[in-house]
Chain A
Amino acid sequence: MIKTEELDPNFKYEIASMPGGERIKYCFNCTGCTVSCPVNEIDREFNPRKILRQSLLGMRKEVLSSELIWLCSSCYACYEHCPQDVRITEIMGALRTIAEKEAHRGNIAVPCDKRKFDSAFTGSIKKHGRVYEAMTIAGFIFRTKGIGGMLAYTPMGLAMLRKGKLPLLPHGIKGKKQVKAIFEMMHR
């Protein structure tokens, strides 16, 4: 049940002010995005049209604290199909950026492994300038899947090592300071 007094009428303007969120108000709810979405084919819970509708209605907390906005694979199928050029893929990104900010401030909890991986990944870029694959992936598997998860991935990890596909040391770039400055400016 939607309680109208709990809706945030400003949510759509907040999204539209984010880079990538600009065109949200053009959505006329036709379902073209959902029909073209490959993730929806696998998991019906994930419904981009519904996420847009909820956002336009102002269901801010529901949308931002839901794991669903992290299930978009960024495939741009919906973006290509939308008759209103809403650019849904970019809006999903804008929603995740707002959710990240709110979670950082402790206003919402997002129990989602995908979010954890994304921040481990960008954290690695911030530190080295390039992503340190071995550590980012191993650390993530250990934190989310424990020893059992590590063991399940060990044969593949060893095969990759043998094939020279998994450098064990990070490659730091000279422009690390500049990359850090980019994060400080943009990652707020």
Chain B
Amino acid sequence: MKFSYYPGCTLHGSASEYDISTRAVCRALGIELVEIEDWNCCGALEGSSNKALSTALSARNIVIASKTSLQLVMPCSICSHNLARADVSIREDSRLRQSVEQALGTSYTGVRMKHLLDVMVNEFGLENLKGRVTRPLTGIKAAPYYGCLLVRPSKICRFDNPKNPVTMDNLIRALGADSPQFRHKVKCCGGSLLMGKEDIAHNLSLNILSEAKAAGADCLVAACPMCHTMLDGQQGMIEKHHDVKLDMPVVYFTQLIGIALGLGEKELGLDRNMVSASRLLDSICKKQQDEKMQEKREKQDTGNTDGDMGHPGGHAGGMGK
């Protein structure tokens, strides 16, 4: 499998762990990523007010990607929303198409494009992925957080149900973890208001974090750098401003896949998350050990004395570093 890859600005900066874990997991699964040349910022949500500007900025990247015959994959939900929105708008609005082509100085050619989560679940496939799991996340509760732009508006991103998506729930289960009932899975984190209206943004994210805690989650799973900035990066500030203790690890879905594939903490950029993921990693190890002990005990109870032999190479040594 081979794709063109558009990381977007944050994956080269504040969300570097998303880039690191995306590349590591794709390498491990035999998915080749070719970063497109000289890409520019898609305008993010700060540029999206001006639809003409946002469309032209995104279109430049699409035209670059269209020079290869590969499908384009994007891990950032904002980038993937912006590029898909631009593509639909250009096809629907001939006036917009004309001004975009004029601004770019070239004619517009589209390309097939997908969010990385879509590729993992629907192209690589969960059955395939299950077969590659070496460290099942048994006993871990991981709350899937989709946020907004991954699933809305459904006119643009059609890969899952906009009100009750299940793609990430299924992924979590395929890795051996539990995905608890999580009511806030498509509720807004307020990310785009962080810089101008911090209080509203913090309130929105606090709701999501508290709901995850109430659901008994060991971690939240994200698929967007802005959601991750709010839930992980801002968690300390939210705790301070609202005088609460949250201590909720937030991992990218690529990091979660990587853990289950047996990749190391550094390889997945887990040391770059702001809320330490070590409690999560420890409990994954502990749950695995508990399970082995349990199996051993059961075998002994049934009088089978060679219970150990069936389980070579345990992971009792902790996570690879």
| A interface with B by C-beta (< 8 Å) | 18-20, 38-39, 42-43, 70-71, 73-77, 79-80, 87, 89-90, 92-94, 96-97, 100, 112-118, 121-122, 125, 129-131, 133-134, 137, 140, 156, 159-160, 163-167, 171, 173-175, 178-179, 181-183, 185-187
Contact = CB atoms under 8 A, between A and B. Distances in A.
Given A42-B204, A113-B195, A114-B193, A122 B53 contact: yes
Contacts of A175: 38, 40, 60
A155 to B, nearest CB: 8
Interface stretch (B102-110, B130-138, B284-292): B102-110
7 contacts: A79-B153, A89-B153, A122-B46, A130-B40, A156-B237, A175-B40, A182-B57
B308 interface: no
B59 to A, nearest CB: 9
B10 to A, nearest CB: 7
A89 B191 CA distance: 15
A182 B197 contact: no
A42 B104 contact: no
Contacts of B271: 163
Contacts of B57: 125, 179, 182
Interface residues of B, number: 61
Given A38-B188, A76-B153, A164 B46 contact: no
B60 A73 contact: no
A121 B200 contact: no
B210 to A, nearest CB: 14
B49 A178 contact: no
A90 B196 CA distance: 20
Interface in B110-157: 148-149, 152-154
B203 interface: yes
Contacts of A80: 152-154, 162-163
Contacts of A133: 9-10, 13-14
Nearest to A187: B53
A73 B188 contact: yes
Interface in B1-46: 9-10, 12-17, 38-41, 43-46
Given A77-B152, A166-B13, A178-B60, 13 more contacts: A71-B197, A73-B200, A79-B152, A80-B163, A94-B51, A117-B46, A122-B50, A122-B53, A130-B39, A160-B233, A167-B13, A185-B103, A187-B53
A181 B105 contact: yes
B49 A100 contact: yes
B40 A125 contact: yes
B204 A38 contact: yes
B48 interface: yes
Contacts, number: 178
Interface string B174-217: 00000000000001101111011100110110000000000000
Contacts of A90: 51
B50 A182 contact: no
B66 interface: no
Contacts of A94: 51
B195 A122 contact: no
Contacts of A70: 196
Interface in B77-103: 89, 93, 96, 99, 102-103
Interface string B55-87: 111001000000000000000000000000000
B272 A130 contact: no
A38 B50 contact: no
Contact of B51 (A18, A100, A159, A166): A18
B46 to A, nearest CB: 4
Contacts of A186: 50, 52-53, 55-56, 99, 103
A46 B43 CA distance: 25
Contacts of A174: 38
B236 interface: yes
B274 interface: yes
A151 to B, nearest CB: 13
Instruction: Give 8 nearest A-B pairs by CB, closest first.
Output: A114-B196, A121-B46, A75-B188, A76-B152, A185-B103, A96-B49, A186-B53, A117-B195
